[in-house]
A = this chain, B = another copy of it.
């Protein structure tokens, strides 16, 4: 997942944005920037920070040049963040008749001359939101995208549907949300909503990676699509309950192909997440048609082969749509024959064994995204951000080539206990700890103690920018009650 790809033709943004953010902190030391830049040099030389004279410039060597819509919009946003109170003409009225008051002294900010060279350590820096266990209003998603950009996350992994509800309003299969959402009108994402999220994210340098998890985690799909799920049997007759997607019927693959064709065109990203986790074989085992299919296919009683058969089929469907698949590691664990470029998403092995998972899967030459140590929905009393911060994603047994296969990491906010009432303070600034781990040089950011005051500053900055980030410990911010 390169930072320049797909439709993001002028997306060298990360480099430029860092410089802007840095200027934004004004009087703070360089140490106050979060995540820590790769290379930064301050000199005692000072410059006035004057909004009348301040401007952003495209680098002469940059691929991005004037007219790049993403950067043009970013310049506007960050100007307001740096000079929140500035309105053109303000200083003139203040100065009327007072020639001695120059623009510089009206504002009174000086910044040390600072050169920053910056680039991300990992190309994939994601946050997962789960909009199935609880519906999240579009506003809550946009707010999260704002905060993600401030921490330099660049992938919004949208776990949009799951067992409890199907809020995605499909054009091809409108019954999926009409019957599978918590509410068919208020708890759905219309095509307009989805486009709004994608375009808001794009302007902030964030890709939207949609997940349509199957064959498990699909209870809500069954409500609007009959014959999709496997009927479970009890004592020789259907029990009325349904299990995972039925992998034995051609109609299943026709449905998936049509759904994914739509999804592929709605979501422009070159990746699509196919899920594939936690498939319970209980229902498949109970169903005589499934058992007959197993015999026919020569799978014996090994249901992992049936799961592999299903996953291979849908990965192949996405390949024909020119999308690269990301799947949860379960798919690798069952040894499916999956395309070389499929990315494995590591979620097992918490708290410490995920290093084994990293070794094992990269040894097979697969690219991986590490999520296991960053299941941020799990909360604990106290400063649990420290645990997220001390993760060393490359500290596993393997060759240099294997290490290169770790393309990044992801903070997962599963939705069992989270909705719009508590999402923001539970996510921020805790997720920012992982953000620095994924962006910055590990040696320069090895001390949790040194990170603490910098993260406190950053949390205050989030508050000032309207993100209701929770406190890390006793204390206060200068500007903490705007709008609360």
Contact = CB atoms under 8 A, between A and B. Distances in A.
A426 to B, nearest CB: 8
Contacts of A164: 474-475
Contact of A475 (B140, B182, B379, B468): B182
A171 interface: no
19 contacts: A134-B471, A164-B474, A165-B476, A183-B476, A378-B381, A379-B379, A379-B381, A381-B417, A416-B474, A418-B470, A418-B471, A419-B470, A419-B476, A420-B481, A421-B424, A422-B422, A422-B425, A422-B470, A425-B425
Contacts of A424: 421
A417 B382 contact: yes
A139 interface: yes
A441 interface: no
Given A421-B470, A484-B140, A484-B420, A134 B475 contact: yes
Contacts of A137: 481, 484
A210 to B, nearest CB: 21
A313 to B, nearest CB: 30
A185 to B, nearest CB: 12
A419 B484 CA distance: 11
A32 interface: no
A224 interface: no
Nearest to A143: B484
Interface in A468-484: 468-476, 478, 480-481, 484
Interface of A: 133-135, 137, 139-140, 164-165, 182-183, 186-187, 377-382, 415-422, 424-426, 463, 468-476, 478, 480-481, 484
A474 B134 contact: yes
Nearest to A424: B421
A139 B182 CA distance: 33
Nearest to A162: B474
Contacts of A484: 137, 139-140, 420-421
Nearest to A381: B378
A364 to B, nearest CB: 32
Residue of A137, A469, A471, A474 with highest tally of chain B CB at under 10 A: A474
A340 to B, nearest CB: 37
The 4 closest A-B pairs by CB, nearest first: A422-B425, A182-B476, A422-B470, A133-B474
A430 to B, nearest CB: 11
A86 to B, nearest CB: 22
Contacts of A165: 476
Given A164-B474, A416-B474, A417-B471, 20 more contacts: A133-B474, A134-B476, A137-B481, A137-B484, A139-B484, A183-B476, A186-B481, A379-B379, A379-B380, A380-B381, A416-B473, A419-B470, A419-B471, A419-B476, A420-B481, A420-B484, A421-B468, A422-B425, A422-B426, A422-B470
A484 to B, nearest CB: 5
Nearest to A467: B421
A108 to B, nearest CB: 20
Nearest to A425: B422
A280 to B, nearest CB: 17
A482 to B, nearest CB: 11
Residue of A379, A419, A484 with highest tally of chain B CB at under 10 A: A419
Contacts of A474: 133-134, 164, 415-416
Contacts of A478: 183
Given A137-B484, A379-B380, A425-B425, A187 B470 contact: no
A420 B468 CA distance: 9
A425 B417 CA distance: 11
A471 B421 contact: yes
Contacts of A377: 381
Contacts of A415: 474
A473 B164 CA distance: 11
Nearest to A378: B381
Nearest to A419: B471
A473 B417 contact: yes
A265 B403 CA distance: 68
Contacts of A481: 137, 186, 420
A381 B377 CA distance: 8
Nearest to A471: B419
Nearest to A416: B474
Contacts of A416: 473-474
Contacts of A422: 422, 425-426, 468, 470-471
